[in-house]
Amino acid sequence: MNEQTAALTARRRDARVDSIIKIAVMAVGGQGGGVLTGWIEDVARRNGYAAQATSVAGVAQRTGATIYYVEMAPRTDGPDPVFSLMPAAGDVDILVAAEMMEAGRGIMRGFVTPERTTLIASSHRALAVSEKTVPGDGIANADEVRGAAEAAASRCIIFDMERMAVEAGSVISASLFGGLAGSGALPFARESFEESIRASGRGVEASLRAFAHAFDAARAEAPTAKTTQAAPGSPRPAGPDKLLREWDSLHAEIAAMPEPVRALAGPGLRKVVDFQDLAYGREYLDRLNAVLAEDDPARDHALGAAAAKYIANAMAYDDVIRVADLKTRASRFARVRGEVGVDAAQVLRLTEFMHPRGAEICGLLPARLGARIEASPRAMRLMDRLFSRGRRLRTDGLWAFMQLYVVGGLRRWRRGTLRHHVEMQHLEDWLRRALHYRAQDYDLAVEVLGCRRLIKGYSDTHARGLSKYDRVMAGIALVAGRDDAADWARRLREAALQDPEGKALDGALATIRSFS
């Protein structure tokens, strides 16, 4: 019976099964995963292999990668093997990841095994939605993923393929293809890979440059040396002589400040002047000097340094005017063209997704009028019906661009708007609280200044941050006077930054209330 079973198993086992090469490619929209898969399929067929490519799309952009899957095997006189449609855990020979977190997802799904899998991944990061929505710093640690990759894979080839592609004027699919070719994991000559790129007929020269750079780096089994450049200094602003003299006068005040403060006050001044004007920069320095008068040199000017950073952030708040201004700047268009690799001969079409609420529109109105409308529920319902809906504005066209450009130009009237009035009241209250605590607890005052980082963005993001700030400040009031008040203020702030729902903050506040 055992002999019969063994013979039957031997007949069922086709030797061609062991010759099948299984490749999984994990990429998201815009990274050319489909193009890369097509090249892999083409190079296999050029070398006499039967090949099949499939794909399963992720749920949405950056919440799940599209998994492309290629199986290939040498053609024989018999029928072609029946290929699988999806990769299986523990059964992948090559995993190609277009970004480090995609490599991590591949490892978590079991596609990477130490006895067989070659892992080829770009070391750059493209942040996921889950990382962007964390109130604080939600960026995952890429070094941990790299360590896991080195432990999980038979061989790792990891370097910044995105940078190579950008420098070559191409997209990452070309450098990933070069990394695959240079790895030697496929039994095909370099020329076959290059012919597949040429046969595609689009962006050939740029793709071949990116391919060549990545091929050489993969051959060396190490990333190419990174070019080091000195950090550029802050350029001196350009403009009329009168305004430049005013700028120099403001900047000269910073030179006399203590070093820990000076390092942050310079960028802070530049930020608020860019946000509004030189008079606004004067207001920034006046507020900063008021805090410095209460500072303690023996504490390394921690209070002044925190004030230099967070007063600037509070004064350069995000409003509709600011968003429109940034979206219509020439530097922004140049940055987008560079990021997507558009040359001078190509047309860039840029669509802005806008979703203003009635509250944002109300904030643009003169302070008294806006406050009167906000106080009326009926008027606010009307504002929401009129304005609170999604809009797509093609800013590569004149009409949409001019709409945003006009809104961005309203900053000369910003000081009279309701939003500015509310923001300045909130800023003064925040500074007043910090200096009140300074009289009894220096460290607590520093932590209160740091709580300003909870407030950012505009619309719903701003409202959520403001709500958390209010709750944290209420918690600080409960612990003020304790020896560990500053430590609890820091814990409250960090808890507020942990999750969008505020569950960690709820727990920290419950602990504080249990003290009484």
| pLDDT for the residue 221 | 61
Question: Exposed, middle or buried, 7 (CB in 10 Å: 0-12/13-18/19+)?
Answer: exposed
Average pLDDT of the residues in 487-501:
88
Report the share of the chain in percent with pLDDT over 70.
87
Taking the C-alpha atoms of residue 183 and residue 177, their distance in angstroms, rounded to an integer, is: 10
Dihedral angle, C-alpha 426, 431, 434, 436, nearest 10 °: -100
Report the share of the chain in percent with pLDDT over 90.
45
> Any idea which of 36-45, 82-91, 412-421 has the lowest mean pLDDT?
82-91
- Structure tokens given for 435: 């200096």
Taking the C-alpha atoms of residue 40 and residue 33, their distance in angstroms, rounded to an integer, is: 11
Average pLDDT of the residues in 471-481:
93
Q: Are 177 and 194 in contact (CB under 8 A)?
A: no
Structure-model confidence comparison of residues 499 and 370, the more confident one: 370
**DSSP at 417:** B
Residue 8 pLDDT exceeds 50: no
Angle at 272 between CA 268 and CA 273, to 5 degrees: 115
| pLDDT for the residue 194 | 93
Mean pLDDT of the chain: 85
| pLDDT for the residue 7 | 44
| pLDDT for the residue 239 | 77
Q: The tokens 């002047």 sit on which residue?
A: 273
Q: How confident is the model at residue 10 (pLDDT cuts 50, 70, 90)?
A: very low
Residue 90 pLDDT exceeds 60: yes
Residue 60 pLDDT exceeds 70: no
- Residue 320 C-beta-side C-alpha neighbours within 13 Å: 23
| pLDDT for the residue 129 | 53
| pLDDT for the residue 240 | 85
Q: Are 84 and 17 in contact (CB under 8 A)?
A: no
Q: What is the pLDDT of residues 306-357, one digit of tens each?
A: 999 999 999 999 988 998 898 998 888 887 877 666 777 778 888 888 777 8
Residue 236 pLDDT exceeds 80: no
Q: Compute how many other C-beta atoms are within 10 angstroms of the C-beta atom of residue 466.
A: 14
Average pLDDT of the residues in 201-226:
78
Residue 195 pLDDT exceeds 90: yes
Q: How confident is the model at residue 141 (pLDDT cuts 50, 70, 90)?
A: low
Residue 88 pLDDT exceeds 50: yes
Q: How confident is the model at residue 112 (pLDDT cuts 50, 70, 90)?
A: very high
Average pLDDT of the residues in 9-33:
70
| pLDDT for the residue 134 | 58
Taking the C-alpha atoms of residue 340 and residue 169, their distance in angstroms, rounded to an integer, is: 9
Taking the C-alpha atoms of residue 369 and residue 417, their distance in angstroms, rounded to an integer, is: 9
Average pLDDT of the residues in 291-301:
91
- Structure tokens given for 114: 């130490």
| pLDDT for the residue 27 | 84
Average pLDDT of the residues in 57-62:
54
Q: How confident is the model at residue 5 (pLDDT cuts 50, 70, 90)?
A: very low
* Counts for the chain of helices (H) and strands (E), in that order: 25, 8
| pLDDT for the residue 126 | 66
Average pLDDT of the residues in 166-171:
87
DSSP sequence for 212-258: HHHHHHHHTTSPPPPP--PPPPPPPP-S-HHHHHHHHHHHHHHHTS-
**Distance of CA 274 to CAs 33, 75, 335, Å?**
40, 65, 18
Taking the C-alpha atoms of residue 447 and residue 48, their distance in angstroms, rounded to an integer, is: 67
| pLDDT for the residue 144 | 76
| pLDDT for the residue 105 | 86
Taking the C-alpha atoms of residue 364 and residue 123, their distance in angstroms, rounded to an integer, is: 43
For the chain, which domains are there? Answer: 14-219 (3.40.920.10)
Average pLDDT of the residues in 409-424:
93
Q: How confident is the model at residue 130 (pLDDT cuts 50, 70, 90)?
A: low
Q: How confident is the model at residue 81 (pLDDT cuts 50, 70, 90)?
A: confident
> Any idea which of 42-51, 195-204, 383-392, 408-417 has the lowest mean pLDDT?
383-392
Q: How confident is the model at residue 16 (pLDDT cuts 50, 70, 90)?
A: low
The rounded radius of gyration (Å) of the Cα atoms in the chain is 29
Name the H helices within 293-397.
302-315, 320-327, 330-340, 358-363, 367-374, 377-387
Q: How confident is the model at residue 390 (pLDDT cuts 50, 70, 90)?
A: confident
Q: How confident is the model at residue 190 (pLDDT cuts 50, 70, 90)?
A: very high
Q: What is the pLDDT of residues 427-463, one digit of tens each?
A: 999 999 999 999 899 999 999 999 999 998 777 788 8
- Structure tokens given for 277: 């004007």
**DSSP at 80:** P
